A and B are shown apart, each in its own frame.
Chain A
Amino acid sequence: MTLLRSLIVGVLAVAAARLMRTLLADRRRPIRRMAWILLLAPYFTPVLLTGYAYANFSLSLIHHPILNTIFYSALLWWKFTPIAAVILHFTPAPISAEAIHCRRLTLASSKFGGWAFLIRAGCAGGTVAAFAVVFLFAFAEFEMASLMVVKSWTVALFDSHAGGLSLSESLRRMLGPLLCETVAIATAFVVLGRHQVIPTRRIEGSLASRWFAWCHLLIAFVFVLAIPAAMVLWGTIRGFGPLLENFVLSREILASLLFAAGASTLAGLAAFWLGTAAHGRSIGSIVCKVILVGAVFVGLLGPLVLSLTVLAAVQLPGLISLRDTPVPLVFTLGLVLLPMALMLKRVLELTAHRSGLHLTTLLQKSPAVRELSWKLSTSGKFWAMVLLFVWAYWDLTASSILAPIGMTPVTVRLYNLMHYGQIAALSAMTCAAFAAPIFIFLLALGTRRWWAPR
Chain B
Amino acid sequence: MTPAPTPNRDRGFARRLVVLAALVALLFGGYYLLWAPHRESLVVYCAHDSIYADSILREFEQETGISVAVRYDTEATKSLGLVELLLQEKAHPRCDVFWNNELLGTLQLADEGSLLPYRGTGYERIPAAFKDADGRWAGFAARLRLWIINTNRLAPTEATVQQATSGDLDRMVIAKPLYGTTRTQYTILWKLWGRDKILAWEADRRARHLREVDGNSMVKDLVSTGVCDLGWTDTDDFFEAHDEGKPVAMLPVRLENGKTICIPNTVAIIRGTRHLAEAQKLVDFLLSEKCEMALAAAKSRQIPLGPVDNNRLPGDVKQLQLWAADGVPLGDLDVANAECLAWLKSEYQ
- By a CB distance below 8 angstroms, the chain A residues around B217 are 419-421
- By a CB distance below 8 angstroms, the chain A residues around B50 are 413, 416-417
Asked if residues B81 and A62 are in contact (CB atoms below 8 Å), the reply is: no
Bound state CA distance, A157 and B39, in angstroms?
33
B residues neighboring A (CB under 8 Å): 2-7, 9-14, 16-18, 20-21, 24-25, 27-28, 31, 35-37, 41, 43, 49-51, 54, 69-77, 80-81, 83-85, 87-88, 92, 94, 170, 173, 178-179, 211, 213-215, 217-218, 220-222, 225, 227-228, 240, 349
Question: Is A112 in the interface zone, CB < 8 Å from B?
Answer: no
Q: How far is the CB of A308 from the nearest CB of chain B, in Å?
A: 14
What would 9 A/B residue contacts be, using CB atoms closer than 8 Å?
Answer: A60-B225, A62-B211, A258-B27, A258-B31, A273-B14, A324-B94, A349-B6, A385-B17, A406-B41
Instruction: Name A266's contact: one of B2, B21, B77, B80 (CB within 8 Å).
Output: B21
Asked if residues B11 and A273 are in contact (CB atoms below 8 Å), the reply is: yes
Asked if residues B71 and A405 are in contact (CB atoms below 8 Å), the reply is: yes
- By a CB distance below 8 angstroms, the chain A residues around B94 are 324, 405
Q: Give the nearest-CB partner of A60 in chain B.
A: B227
Q: How far is the CB of A440 from the nearest CB of chain B, in Å?
A: 11
Give the contact stretch, choosing among A23-31, A185-193, A352-360.
A352-360
Bitwise interface map of A from 415 to 454 toward B, beta carbon under 8 Å scored 1, else 0: 1110111000000000000000000000000000011010
Asked if residues A405 and B11 are in contact (CB atoms below 8 Å), the reply is: no
Asked if residues A59 and B24 are in contact (CB atoms below 8 Å), the reply is: no
Asked if residues A258 and B5 are in contact (CB atoms below 8 Å), the reply is: no
Q: Give the nearest-CB partner of B41 in chain A.
A: A406
Query: Which residues of chain A (316-337) have a CB below 8 Å from chain B?
Result: 320, 324, 326
- By a CB distance below 8 angstroms, the chain A residues around B10 are 272-273, 275-276, 345, 381
Bitwise interface map of A from 94 to 124 toward B, beta carbon under 8 Å scored 1, else 0: 0000000000000000000000000000000
Asked if residues A377 and B36 are in contact (CB atoms below 8 Å), the reply is: no
Bitwise interface map of A from 377 to 417 toward B, beta carbon under 8 Å scored 1, else 0: 11001000100000000000000100011111000010111
Question: Is A162 in the interface zone, CB < 8 Å from B?
Answer: yes
- By a CB distance below 8 angstroms, the chain B residues around A408 are 71-72
Question: Is A197 in the interface zone, CB < 8 Å from B?
Answer: no
Question: Is A63 in the interface zone, CB < 8 Å from B?
Answer: yes
Bound state CA distance, A287 and B217, in angstroms?
53
Closest 4 CB pairs of A and B: A164-B84, A419-B75, A453-B12, A406-B37
Q: Give the nearest-CB partner of A400 in chain B.
A: B74
Give the contact stretch, choosing among A10-18, A131-139, A224-232, A247-255.
A247-255
Asked if residues A276 and B14 are in contact (CB atoms below 8 Å), the reply is: yes
Q: How far is the CB of A43 from the nearest CB of chain B, in Å?
A: 24
Give how many A residues have a beta carbon under 8 Å from the other chain's beta carbons: 61
Bound state CA distance, A262 and B94, in angstroms?
25
Asked if residues B24 and A377 are in contact (CB atoms below 8 Å), the reply is: no
> Which residue, of B6, B83, B213, B240, has the highest number of chain A Cβ atoms within 10 A?
B6
Beyond known contacts A149-B218, A255-B31, A354-B6: 4 more, CB 8 A cutoff: A165-B349, A272-B14, A358-B3, A405-B94
Asked if residues B227 and A265 are in contact (CB atoms below 8 Å), the reply is: no
Given A162-B81, A163-B84: A269 touches B215 (CB 8 Å cut-off):
no
> Which residue, of A159, A258, A413, A417, has the highest number of chain B Cβ atoms within 10 A?
A159
Q: Give the nearest-CB partner of B4 in chain A.
A: A354
Given A254-B31, A272-B17, A419-B218: A163 touches B6 (CB 8 Å cut-off):
no
Bound state CA distance, A360 and B24, in angstroms?
31
Asked if residues A419 and B7 are in contact (CB atoms below 8 Å), the reply is: no
Bound state CA distance, A160 and B178, in angstroms?
10
- By a CB distance below 8 angstroms, the chain B residues around A421 are 217-218, 220-221
Instruction: Name A406's contact: one of B4, B27, B69, B240 (CB within 8 Å).
Output: B69
Question: Is A196 in the interface zone, CB < 8 Å from B?
Answer: no
- By a CB distance below 8 angstroms, the chain B residues around A248 are 54
Question: Is A126 in the interface zone, CB < 8 Å from B?
Answer: no
Q: Give the nearest-CB partner of A267 in chain B.
A: B17
Bound state CA distance, A148 and B38, in angstroms?
38
Asked if residues A262 and B9 are in contact (CB atoms below 8 Å), the reply is: no
Question: Is A261 in the interface zone, CB < 8 Å from B?
Answer: yes
Q: How far is the CB of B102 from the nearest CB of chain A, in Å?
A: 14
Asked if residues A149 and B178 are in contact (CB atoms below 8 Å), the reply is: no
Asked if residues A269 and B214 are in contact (CB atoms below 8 Å), the reply is: no
Q: Give the nearest-CB partner of B18 in chain A.
A: A269
- By a CB distance below 8 angstroms, the chain B residues around A355 are 2
Instruction: Name A59's contact: one of B3, B16, B84, B227 (CB within 8 Å).
Output: B227
- By a CB distance below 8 angstroms, the chain B residues around A419 are 74-76, 214-215, 217-218
Bound state CA distance, A230 and B75, in angstroms?
26
Asked if residues B213 and A276 are in contact (CB atoms below 8 Å), the reply is: no
Instruction: Name B77's contact: one of A162, A354, A417, A453 (CB within 8 Å).
Output: A162
Bound state CA distance, A146 and B41, in angstroms?
33
Asked if residues B349 and A163 are in contact (CB atoms below 8 Å), the reply is: yes
Bound state CA distance, A334 and B80, in angstroms?
31
- By a CB distance below 8 angstroms, the chain B residues around A266 are 21
Q: Give the nearest-CB partner of B45 in chain A.
A: A405
Asked if residues A56 and B81 are in contact (CB atoms below 8 Å), the reply is: no
Asked if residues A159 and B43 are in contact (CB atoms below 8 Å), the reply is: no
Bound state CA distance, A164 and B17, in angstroms?
40
- By a CB distance below 8 angstroms, the chain B residues around A349 are 6
Asked if residues B7 and A265 are in contact (CB atoms below 8 Å), the reply is: no
Question: Is A375 in the interface zone, CB < 8 Å from B?
Answer: no
Question: Is A279 in the interface zone, CB < 8 Å from B?
Answer: yes
- By a CB distance below 8 angstroms, the chain B residues around A279 are 7
Q: How far is the CB of B46 from the nearest CB of chain A, in Å?
A: 11
- By a CB distance below 8 angstroms, the chain B residues around A420 are 49, 51, 75, 217, 240
Given A165-B349, A420-B217: A276 touches B7 (CB 8 Å cut-off):
yes
- By a CB distance below 8 angstroms, the chain B residues around A326 are 28
Given A405-B71, A407-B36, A419-B215: A258 touches B76 (CB 8 Å cut-off):
no
Asked if residues A377 and B9 are in contact (CB atoms below 8 Å), the reply is: yes
Given A163-B84, A352-B6, A400-B74: A269 touches B173 (CB 8 Å cut-off):
no
Given A269-B21, A450-B16: A405 touches B69 (CB 8 Å cut-off):
yes
> Which residue, of A268, A361, A378, A420, has the highest number of chain B Cβ atoms within 10 A?
A420
- By a CB distance below 8 angstroms, the chain A residues around B9 are 357, 377-378, 453
> Which residue, of B35, B41, B221, has the highest number of chain A Cβ atoms within 10 A?
B221
Asked if residues B2 and A416 are in contact (CB atoms below 8 Å), the reply is: no
Asked if residues A162 and B14 are in contact (CB atoms below 8 Å), the reply is: no
- By a CB distance below 8 angstroms, the chain A residues around B173 are 62
Bound state CA distance, A255 and B217, in angstroms?
28
- By a CB distance below 8 angstroms, the chain B residues around A62 are 173, 211, 213, 222, 227-228
Bound state CA distance, A407 and B70, in angstroms?
9
Q: How far is the CB of B227 from the nearest CB of chain A, in Å?
A: 5
Asked if residues A59 and B75 are in contact (CB atoms below 8 Å), the reply is: no
- By a CB distance below 8 angstroms, the chain A residues around B6 are 349, 352, 354, 357, 377
Q: How far is the CB of B333 from the nearest CB of chain A, in Å?
A: 19
Asked if residues B16 and A162 are in contact (CB atoms below 8 Å), the reply is: no
Query: Which residues of chain A (157-188) have a CB below 8 Å from chain B?
Result: 159-160, 162-166
Asked if residues A159 and B41 are in contact (CB atoms below 8 Å), the reply is: no
- By a CB distance below 8 angstroms, the chain B residues around A146 are 76
Instruction: Name B213's contact: one of A59, A345, A381, A451 (CB within 8 Å).
Output: A59
